[in-house]
Amino acid sequence: MSGSIDHTTRLARGCVLCYEGAKMVLFVTGRCGRNCWYCPISEKRRNGDVMYANDRVVASPADILDEAEMMSARGSSITGGEPFLVLDEVVHACRLLKEHFGPDHHIHLYTGIAPSEEQLRPLIGCVDEIRLHPPQEEWGQILDTPFAESVQTARRLGFSVGFEVPSLPGIEALGAILPDLDFLNINELEWSETNAAAMRSRELDLEDGLHNAVGGAAEWAAPLLSDERVHLCTSSFKDSVQLRERLKRIAHNTARPFDEVTDDGTIIYGLLELEDGALPPVLEAGRREGIYDLEVVGNQVEMAWWVLADLRDDLPGRKSVIERYPNGGIILEVTPL
């Protein structure tokens, strides 16, 4: 069923930019007042107060802008943990992004609380879209919860507002509040290291061996999918489209002249490990004459993989082709030459 979903329709503005890989993820805190059994946040980030821009630890405001520039971000998503626990930091970061990129830099914010008008007012002009995450135990009486009032308050203040929740049994009860929402995003329930024990205790299992989707998750959401405000974001979509498009943007902005950017947003290059630390004459001459682009770090030389392959017999030392995520990301594959 998940393979038949058209991800280009029924999308909130923030989701359109995610689909294009054009949204930076700003993780503002790992602290949260809730303890949702399905929470996928890693142990590394959970309960901590470290900020991340995508996967970069933020040590200064410049790190936020550098990461956004590197991927040519057209928007940002504010997430956690609970962003309202660090509201001052959120407002500062959002103002920074809006001032640097302009008012069209779209920002959406996730929250697990039902924010009051007092909490929402500082975000006016900084955040465009509020995404509320009511707990599963409140779905059955959603119109009688503080979340219903928060929806009305947020809309009155000029925010686009919706719910973003995982696909869980009983989710069809959220149909009662759909007329009041701009959108309802349903994330296909995903297995992670931190929620695995809770999944097993509920006798849930993976749908297949290819993705992290939990079996039955798409079917739980099915009763709501006929409404044009509802979108199911599947695990396969996140893996095969969202992440790939973001990587491609980063790769094209950060690739060196000799890096090959793949359709998946990874980069490929050749690596020569020098035997005696000296650059072989053929490479030294080629670099001097501007024939070859090289990067020498210690006893390693990085270059176009096809140049390394062509010169293989003339170059002493261990040679390999490297595929990795862009901008110094993790190495995915090493192929000896």
C-beta separation of 105 from 137 below 8 A:
no
* From 12-21, 78-87, 177-186, 206-215, the region with the lowest mean pLDDT: 206-215
Q: In the prediction, which pLDDT does 4 show?
A: 39
Query: What does the mean pLDDT of the chain come to?
Result: 88
Q: How confident is the model at residue 236 (pLDDT cuts 50, 70, 90)?
A: low
Does position 220 have pLDDT exceeding 90, yes or no?
no
Q: How confident is the model at residue 8 (pLDDT cuts 50, 70, 90)?
A: very low
What integer is the mean pLDDT of 89-109? 97
Does position 7 have pLDDT exceeding 50, yes or no?
no
Pairing of β 52-53 and β 23-29? antiparallel
Q: In the prediction, which pLDDT does 199 show?
A: 72
Q: Could you tell me the pTM of the whole model?
A: 0.80
Q: Which fold has domain 2-251?
A: TIM Barrel (3.20.20)
The sheet with strand 106-111 has its strands ordered as: 56-57, 52-53, 23-29, 75-80, 106-111, 129-132, 160-166, 183-187, 230-233
